[in-house]
């Protein structure tokens, strides 16, 4: 198994531009999570899906952030318009049931200038 | 709401020492507790997963224990090596299958 795959690994964009981060969970995993990591705030849960349905998006900072999971093998996190304070590492994780642990992707390092 | 705390925030030890990292959580109704390792600029690597019904898990030089009643977990690293230098994160899974992280312990093992 290739694990959780995220793309791109690095993204540098100008303020105001749209950014799309992508995630492919492990095949067969029913849960998918998006986290953001910064030095100041550590790991923050943004949103998570169960069977492609968003369950909790209370961690999404504001309306500029949106996430979708059109099928079991793909999810996107979109920021529009991006701002410098969105600069962080964004991680995607998946789990078979939640009770058997989580596997994280390598993350996308986003820099908004 | 679950809160997870890790003490100490940073730790520096000489090579060869045995060490213990601490993790505490406020809500004991957990499904499991997971320990991760994160190297600088890298992702999270799962080290050990302890289910709520278990007391400990071992992998090589690592041993993790869980005491739900007291809301504590410890990660024991035997005979530490410079290659163990990293940030160690604990995280609990609670109702709703949400993973809550502690702030991490940054470990430095000096040769």
- Mean per-residue pLDDT over chain A, rounded: 94
Q: Residue B92 burial (CB < 10 Å; 0-12/13-18/19+)? A: buried
- The continuous run of DSSP H or E covering B45 comes out as strand B44-51
Closest chain B C-alpha to A67 CA, distance in angstroms: 17
Q: Do A95 and B97 touch (CB under 8 A)?
A: yes
For residue A1, what pLDDT is reported? 66
Nearest by Cα to B92 from B56, B49, B41, B39: B49
Which of A44, A91, A46, A50 shows the shortest CA–CA distance to A65? A46
Q: Does B34 contact A97 at a Cβ distance shorter than 8 Å?
A: no
Summarize pLDDT for A20-54 with one digit per residue, the tens. 999 999 999 999 999 999 988 889 999 999 999 99
> pLDDT at position A99, please?
77
Report A:4-63 residues touching B (Cβ under 8 A): 31, 33, 42-43, 45, 48, 50, 55-56
The pLDDT of residue B5: 96
What is the predicted pLDDT for the residue at B4? Answer: 95
| Candidates A48, A104, A109; nearest CB to B98 | A48
- In tens digits, chain B (111 residues) has pLDDT values of 899 999 999 999 999 999 999 999 999 999 999 999 999 988 999 999 999 999 999 999 999 999 999 999 999 999 999 999 999 999 999 877 788 999 999 999 999
Q: How many CB pairs under 8 A join A and B?
A: 54
Supply the pLDDT for residue A2: 79
Q: Write out the two tokens for B10.
A: 């940073």
Determine the pLDDT at residue B82.
97
Is A101 in Cβ contact with B101 (below 8 Å)?
Answer: no
> Which pLDDT belongs to residue A79?
97
């Amino acid at each position: 198994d290739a694990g959780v795959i995220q793309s791109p690994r690095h993204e540098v964009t100008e303020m105001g531009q749209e950014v799309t981060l992508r995630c492919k969970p492990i095949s067969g995993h029913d849960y998918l999570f998006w986290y953001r990591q910064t030095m100041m705030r550590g790991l923050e849960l943004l949103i998570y899906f169960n069977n492609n349905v968003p369950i909790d998006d209370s961690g999404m900072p504001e309306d500029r952030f949106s996430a979708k999971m059109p099928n079991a093998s793909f999810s996107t996190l979109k920021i529009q318009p991006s701002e410098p304070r969105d600069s962080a590492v964004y991680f995607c994780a998946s789990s078979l049931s939640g009770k058997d642990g989580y596997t994280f992707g390598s993350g996308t390092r986003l820099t908004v200038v | 709401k679950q809160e997870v705390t890790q003490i100490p925030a940073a730790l520096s030890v000489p090579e060869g020492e045995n060490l213990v990292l601490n993790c505490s959580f406020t809500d004991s109704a957990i499904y499991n507790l997971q320990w991760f390792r994160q190297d600088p600029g890298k992702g999270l690597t799962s080290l050990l997963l302890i289910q709520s019904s278990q007391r400990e898990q071992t992998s090589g030089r690592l041993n993790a224990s869980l005491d739900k009643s007291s809301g504590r977990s410890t990660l024991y690293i035997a005979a530490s090596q410079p290659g163990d230098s990293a940030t160690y994160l604990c995280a609990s899974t609670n109702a709703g299958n949400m993973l809550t992280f502690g702030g991490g312990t940054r470990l430095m093992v000096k040769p």
